[in-house]
Structures are given as C-alpha cells and as structure tokens.
C-alpha cells in the first residue's frame, strides 16, 4: 500500500470513528475511502467491517461515564445484536452483494425519520407498554428490532448505528448520550461478530484495514466526549439529517446504475 493511500485511509478513519460514535454513520467516510484506493466493492465492504472493530474499542473507552450501571442491558442487547451480525455475515458470504441494494436507503431514511420524531413516539411507546402485558409485548419487539439491525450491520452496515439509535430511543427515557453509548456497544457487537467471520472467510485487505482501523480508534475515542458537550436536540436533528442525506446519496447511486 502506498504512503498516500495510508494517509488517506487514516484520515478517513478518524472522520469515521468520530462520526460513527456520534451519529452512527462511520461508513459514510470509510467505505468510499476504501473504494478510492482501489478495492473492489465486496473487498471494501468486508475490509470496512474488520477495520471498524476499533470503533467499538474507542467508544467503549470514551463512554465509561455513560455506560455505568448498564451491564445487564448491554449483555442482553449485545448478545442479540451479535446473533444478527452472524446471520448477516453468513448472508453476505452466501448471497449476491446486490441483494439488499434497494432496501438499504429506505431503512436508513426510516431510521432517520424515527430519530426526528422520537419524542411523540416515545410517549406513544410509554402508553402502549404500561402494565405487565404492555411490557411483555415491548421487550420482544425491541429484541426483534435489535436482531434485524444487527443482521443488517453484519451484512453491509452503512448507518446501522442510525437504525439502532432509533430502535433504542423509542424504549428509553434516558439522555441521548447514554442511549448513544449503548447503541455503539450493540452495533459494535454485530460488527465484531461479522469481522471475525470475514477475517477467516472473506477477501480482507489487511494493509488498508490497519490504516483505517488506526484512524477509527482515534476518532471514536473523541466522539463520546463530543456527544457529552453538544445540546441533545441539535445533535439529534443533525444525526437524522445526515442519515437522510446518505439515503438520498444511495438512491442517486441506484438510479445512476
């Protein structure tokens, strides 16, 4: 790998780690950078997944304050997401990479809209989940949604964090930095599971993965600190707008092909 490519990927990794830990949009920078240095799409996809493993390490280190007291919740959500990530990795290795091409932008747009209208949906969710019967319905619904987002994260992963944040936001009354930190760990579990499979079974480009991963580690360590100091409503709107922008970009790519 040339020095220029290494610098480009490290810089893209820093941006990916920062944006990924803040908004769940790491692949907005990392995936195009891998394509720019000459990797074919499938290799870029699996290399991206392996490199983003360091996002989980960085965000875990930077979010210790928000993750205090979340152990049982994290174990439950990470376990479900990891199962989804395994299924997603199996799908990528066994099916054409274009299988989800048309649904991905719609999923990202849906997640972005859910984040924008989080407060009324939270109130509706709270009313529906009142009482023992309501709670018994809410938990399986959340588990199923986390499983599906984990599956998507293992398969492709662009804006999986936006989708996971939307799912978790509907059932949590905590501050956004806490939900964001939990989101990072849940999506990280899906990503790590898929990354292990790809490391052994897929065409990972290890030089680019290391350069990108180093940048991601730096950016993701800073991200939780940024979230901690930005007002919640502007941050939530920025995440949703960025997600919609990515969805529109992907729609444009589909129309052009």
Tens of pLDDT along the chain (257 residues)? 788 889 999 998 998 888 877 767 777 778 888 888 988 877 888 898 899 889 888 888 888 888 888 899 899 999 999 999 999 888 878 876 565 567 667 767 776 776 677 666 666 555 645 544 444 556 777 888 889 889 988 887 767 777 888 788 776 677 878 888 898 899 989 988 988 988 998 889 999 999 999 999 998 888 888 777 777 677 777 777 877 777 787 677 666 65
Looking at residue 160, its pLDDT comes to: 79
Answer for the pair 185, 59: CB distance below 8 angstroms, yes or no: yes
Q: How far from the centroid of its chain's Cα atoms is residue 197's Cα? A: 18
| Rounded Cα–Cα distance for residues 250 and 105 (Å) | 6
pLDDT for residue 165: 81
The answer to whether 153 and 100 are in contact (CB under 8 A) is no
Q: Is 140 exposed, middle or buried (0-12, 13-18, 19+ CB in 10 A)?
A: exposed
Helix ranges, the chain (H): 3-23, 27-36, 41-51, 53-62, 64-67, 71-94, 104-116, 118-128, 131-155, 160-169, 176-201, 206-229, 232-256
pTM for the whole structure: 0.75
Decide: 164 and 149 in contact? Cβ < 8 Å: yes
For residue 57, the Cα-to-chain-centroid distance in whole angstroms is: 14
b/e burial code for range 151-177 (CB count within 10 A of at least 16 → b) = bbbbbbbbbbbbbbbbbbbbbbeeebb
Give residue for tokens 């859910």: 114
Total residue length of the chain: 257
Q: Please identify which residue in the block is written with the tokens 């662009």.
A: 158
- 241 CB-side CA count, 13 A: 6
């Amino acid at each position: 790998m040339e020095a220029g490519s290494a610098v480009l990927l490290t810089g893209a990794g820093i941006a990916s780690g920062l944006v990924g830990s803040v908004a769940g949009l790491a692949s907005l920078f990392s995936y195009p950078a891998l394509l720019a240095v000459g990797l074919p799409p499938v290799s870029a996809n699996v290399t991206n997944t392996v490199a983003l493993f360091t996002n989980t390490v960085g965000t875990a280190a930077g979010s210790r304050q928000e993750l205090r007291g979340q152990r049982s919740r994290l174990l439950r959500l990470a376990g479900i997401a990891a199962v989804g990530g395994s299924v997603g990795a199996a799908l990528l290795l066994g099916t054409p990479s274009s299988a989800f091409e048309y649904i991905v932008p719609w999923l990202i747009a849906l997640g972005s809209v859910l984040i924008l209208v989080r407060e009324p949906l939270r109130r509706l969710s709270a009313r529906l989940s009142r009482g023992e019967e309501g709670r018994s319905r809410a938990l399986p619904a959340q588990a199923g949604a986390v499983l599906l987002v984990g599956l998507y994260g293992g398969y492709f992963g662009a804006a999986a964090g936006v989708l996971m944040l939307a799912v978790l936001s509907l059932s949590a009354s905590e501050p956004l930095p806490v939900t964001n930190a939990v989101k990072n760990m849940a999506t990280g579990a899906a990503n790590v599971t898929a990354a292990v499979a790809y490391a052994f079974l897929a065409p990972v480009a290890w030089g680019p993965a290391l350069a990108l991963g180093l940048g991601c580690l730096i950016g993701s360590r800073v991200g939780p600190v940024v979230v901690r100091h930005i007002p919640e409503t502007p941050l939530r709107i920025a995440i949703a707008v960025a997600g919609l922008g990515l969805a529109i970009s992907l729609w444009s790519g589909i129309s052009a092909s």
